[in-house]
Each structure stands twice: as C-alpha cells, then as structure tokens.
Amino acid sequence: SSRTVDGGYVQRVTGLDRAATYRLNARLRCSWPVDKNHQVLIGLDSTGQGDDPKAATIRWTTLPDAYGIWETYTSQPIRPDKDAISVFLRGRATSTSNQPFEADFDDVHLRRVRTDPPDDHPPR
C-alpha cells in the first residue's frame, strides 16, 4: 500500500540586522525523483514566524534537480522584516509505491551578504 509523509523542521534565526541581506546555503539529497508526489522543500520567512508552515509569507523552493546525490543550494537574497528569519526544511511524499522516500539536509547555514565595497580598495 502507498504511504504519505509530510514533515519538517523549522528554525528561527534571531538577532539579525533589518538593513542587511542574507542568503541560505545548504546541501541536500533525496531518494526519489522530484515530481508532484515527491518533494524536498526549503522555505524562508522574512517575518521570522515559525508556527505556521502554511503561512503565505513563506517563500518555498522545491528541490533537488537530481536524486540520490548531494546537491548544493543557495537561496535568493532575503532581508528580515524585523530582526529574525525562519528557515523551514521539509520532505513531502503523497505516494511512495512502497519505496521509501528520504530527504537529507546537511551544512545548512544563513550568511550575511556583503553589500559594501572591500575596505582595502579605494573607489575608482
């Protein structure tokens, strides 16, 4: 028989600068080709809320392009509305045809994007 699964993890990152820009980087893989029934998702919420995985404020990205191998992901730039961003990691399968569906995430980190020129190079 077919089984369904929809689960994930959320982490609220606080203490961020509202005027700064950030990007999320991660490595991920899954055990099934991504289609309408099998998805690995990363969501970013600039409001910092982490209680509602169905919130309209979450920008979801479906990944990966291939299955069975580790892929690197870099998000679009994001700025926090206040001082926090929430990161959602999610695996979802509505049909597995008795084959296990696994989603793995590794080396997930949010980094500030440098938007100022380097100090050691004077303007031209």
Residue 18, sorted as left (phi over 0), alpha (psi -120 to 50) or beta, turns out to be alpha
Q: For 60, what's the count of Cα atoms within 13 Å in the CB-facing half-sphere?
A: 14
Q: Is the Cβ–Cβ distance between 40 and 90 less than 8 Å?
A: yes
Q: What pLDDT does residue 121 have?
A: 64
Cα–Cα distance between 73 and 71 in angstroms, integer?
7
Name the pTM for this structure.
Answer: 0.86
Per-residue pLDDT 10s for the chain (124 aa) are 457 778 899 999 999 999 999 999 999 999 888 888 888 999 999 999 999 999 999 999 998 888 899 999 999 999 999 999 999 999 988 876 677 788 999 999 999 998 777 777 666 6
